[in-house]
Amino acid sequence: MKYISTRGGTEPQEFCDILLGGLAPDGGLYLPDVYPQVADHLDDWRSLSYAELAFQILSLYATDIPAEDLRTICDKTYTAQTYRWSRDPAKAADIVPLTSLEPGFHLLELSNGPTLAFKDMAMQLLGNLFEYVLERRKETINILGATSGDTGSAAEYAMRGKHNVRVFMLSPEGKMSSFQRAQMYSLQDANIFNIAVRGMFDDAQDIVKAVSNDADFKAKYKIGAVNSINWARVMAQVVYYFKGYFEATRSNREEVAFAVPSGNFGNICAGHIARMMGLPVARLVLATNENDVLDEFFRTGIYRPRTTAETRVTSSPSMDISKASNFERFIFDLVGRDAAIVRQLWRQVDRGGSFSLADGPFAARLMSYGFASGRSSHADRLATIRDVWERYGQMIDTHTADGVKVAREHRVAGVPMIVLETAQPVKFAETIREALGREPARPVELEGIEDLPQKVEVVDAAVNQVKDIIVRHC
């Protein structure tokens, strides 16, 4: 399998060559040059364990890793021990257990990993892939990132203790919940460095960009990233669409729908790819919160990224985005993989503009993909959390509530609806208290983590202070 850029300006690459990078050098995103067609494999795959299914799917994409090595990596990544915080502990071995709320309406639990958000599903694999490839090449990497919560902690828990990786993670001082702070800052591993920036998330993000744009510094200190545009993260997420499908159906002639709480379009992009590979998906239902740039696109065909000033802080904060960084992958497919068209559309986007595919030649293909969308507000979120609690006795987090709310608007008789559960309620306890007047359940092992000693360095929003920390530790 070779990887090409959505902007068409790079030579085809191998999997391991794009694994450690971010954007392609021409500014595009990497995608496989074809999607493997797997409809004939579904019968064989239906009864596989999660790790074995992951191996089967990943071996179609990571073709430059020997099969026995890839199998070892999958076995080590997808264990019941790592994904142990399922609703029903007896189902932990499923890795992504399916909880039925009512016949034909299910939650797929993707947030049972170490940081209680679905980002662990891909990030844990990335940690093991990085370690493997770096080991083989006798190289090291220093991952630099900025986080407002879920991504940073998932990266740290995936990379902790790996001897050829260091993580420098910037977060806005005092802006995360005490639980999120405790999750990250209580890590005492020698290769994990938490840096709290006196400022907002955007200040932290700007510092990461400035350091990455300093080509000399970047090369000398081997600066890398694990952001949501990383192809391997999208690839890892394809697996649970297959697993969810098998859990919710009896035969491979049935179709299902997935509802996906969306921000950067990474999670649902994996669903699109699973469908392109031949998984019988009737509908992909995209849910946004008040930051509805993607809902707008699927309703109108117009993609209009917002400014930072237009972006609202909401109670499903991991979906608070102004533009969707993975969206370019989807548009590349939608325009028939014509890189010239993608280049032209993103020339407009990069100038702060928008584009419309509403009445052009691609509108029919967009229809044929079977997307639907909707948005949710804070009031919707509270009502949905309350309703799911009262009706089914299940507690869901704010992002999953957005998914359930929009999923209900798009149910089709006879087609099972699978809502992807992207985080556990304890991560967003304040809104749970507001909705239910009670504390969310918390895994016993995480009782009192707020009281553990914390390791974090506080700096001003100044590029040099962050560079100094990196230099000091390398």
Report residue 341: phi and psi, to 5°. -70, -40
Q: What one-character-per-residue DSSP string does 30-66 give? A: EEESSPPP-GGGHHHHTT--HHHHHHHHHTTT-TTS-
Do 142 and 166 contact (CB within 8 A), yes or no?
yes
State the DSSP code for 160: T
Q: Nearest approach, Cβ of 431 to ligand PLP (angstroms)?
A: 12
User: Minimum distance between the CB of residue 167 and ligand PLP, rounded to whole angstroms?
Assistant: 18
Which residue in 401, 391, 400, 405 sits closest to 420, CA to CA? Answer: 400
Residue closest to 171 by CA, chosen among 201, 151, 137: 201
Looking only at the bridges linking them, the beta strands covering 256-261 and 281-288 are parallel
Q: Give the nearer residue to ligand PLP in terms of CB position, either 5 or 291.
A: 291
Closer CB to ligand PLP, residue 127 or residue 261?
Answer: 261
Residue 289 contacts ligand PLP per CB under 6 A = no
Our finding on whether 265 is near ligand PLP (CB under 6 A) is yes
- Does residue 315 belong to the site contacting ligand PLP (CB under 6 A)? no
- The partner residues of 288 in beta bridges, in order of sequence, read 375
Q: Which is nearer to ligand PLP, 150 or 380 (CB)?
A: 150
Contact residue for ligand PLP among 115, 267, 291, 315 (CB under 6 A)? 267
- Binding test (CB under 6 A) with ligand PLP, winner from 109, 150, 173, 328: 150
- Positions 406 through 445 that interact with ligand PLP (CB under 6 A): 422-423
Binding mask of the shown chain, residues 344 to 383, with x at each position contacting ligand PLP by CB under 6 A: ----------------------------------------
Sole binder of ligand PLP in the list 152, 263, 425, 440 (CB under 6 A)? 263
Question: Judged by CB, which is closer to ligand PLP: 117, or 187?
Answer: 117
Q: Which stretch binds ligand PLP (CB under 6 A): 133-141, 217-225, 262-270, 298-306?
A: 262-270
Does 230 engage in binding with ligand PLP (CB under 6 A)?
Answer: no
Pairing of strands 302-303, 355-356: antiparallel
- In the complex, residue closest to ligand PLP by CB: 266
Buried b or exposed e, range 128-166, using 16+ CB within 10 angstroms = bbbbbbbeeeeebbbbbbbbbbbbbbbbbbbbbebebbb
Among 181, 399, 405, 410, binds ligand PLP (CB under 6 A): 399
Please give the residues from 77 up to 136 whose contact with ligand PLP meets the rule CB under 6 A.
117, 119
Q: Which two tokens stand for residue 425?
A: 């309620």
What span, in angstroms and rounded, lies between the C-alpha atoms of 146 and 121? 20
In the complex, least distance from residue 103 CB atom to ligand PLP, rounded to whole angstroms = 26
User: What single string gives the DSSP state of each residue in 336-372?
Assistant: TS-HHHHHHHHHHHHTT--EE-SSSTTHHHHHHHTEE
Q: Is 142 or 148 the residue whose CB approaches ligand PLP more closely?
A: 148
- Alpha-carbon distance values, 311 to 159, 162, 165, 305, 381 (Å): 31, 36, 33, 10, 18
Compute the least distance from the CB of residue 417 to ligand PLP, in Å.
Answer: 18
Q: Mapping DSSP to helix (H, G, I), strand (E, B) and coil, where does residue 144 land?
A: strand
- Least Å distance between CB 242 and ligand PLP? 18
What residue spans of 277-411 are helical by DSSP H?
293-300, 327-334, 339-350, 363-369, 378-392, 398-408
Q: State in angstroms the smallest separation of the CB of 27 from ligand PLP.
A: 20
Helices (H), 221-323: 231-248, 266-276, 293-300
> Tokens 């809902």, residue?
295
Residues of span 316-335 touching ligand PLP by CB under 6 A: 318-319
Q: Which stretch binds ligand PLP (CB under 6 A): 81-89, 181-189, 200-208, 256-264?
A: 256-264
Asked if 228 interacts with ligand PLP (CB under 6 A), we say yes
> Per rule CB under 6 A, is residue 28 in the interface with ligand PLP?
no
CA distance 14 to 69: 16
Q: How far is the CB of 236 from ligand PLP (least distance, A)?
A: 12
Q: Both tokens of residue 384?
A: 């949905």
- Binding segment for ligand PLP (CB under 6 A), chosen from 134-142, 200-208, 257-265, 435-443, is 257-265
The sign one gets for the Cα dihedral 374, 379, 380, 385 is: positive
Complex with ligand PLP: residue 65 or 319, whichever CB lies closer = 319
Catalytic residue flag (residue 119): yes
Question: Which window, 39-47, 255-263, 338-346, 456-464, contacts ligand PLP (CB under 6 A)?
Answer: 255-263
Helix, coil or strand: residue 397? coil
Catalytic residue among 2, 76, 91, 119: 119
Q: Does 156 bind ligand PLP (CB under 6 A)?
A: no
Where along the sequence are the contacts to ligand PLP (CB under 6 A)? 117, 119, 150, 228, 261-267, 318-319, 399, 422-423
Q: Which residues are catalytic?
A: 119
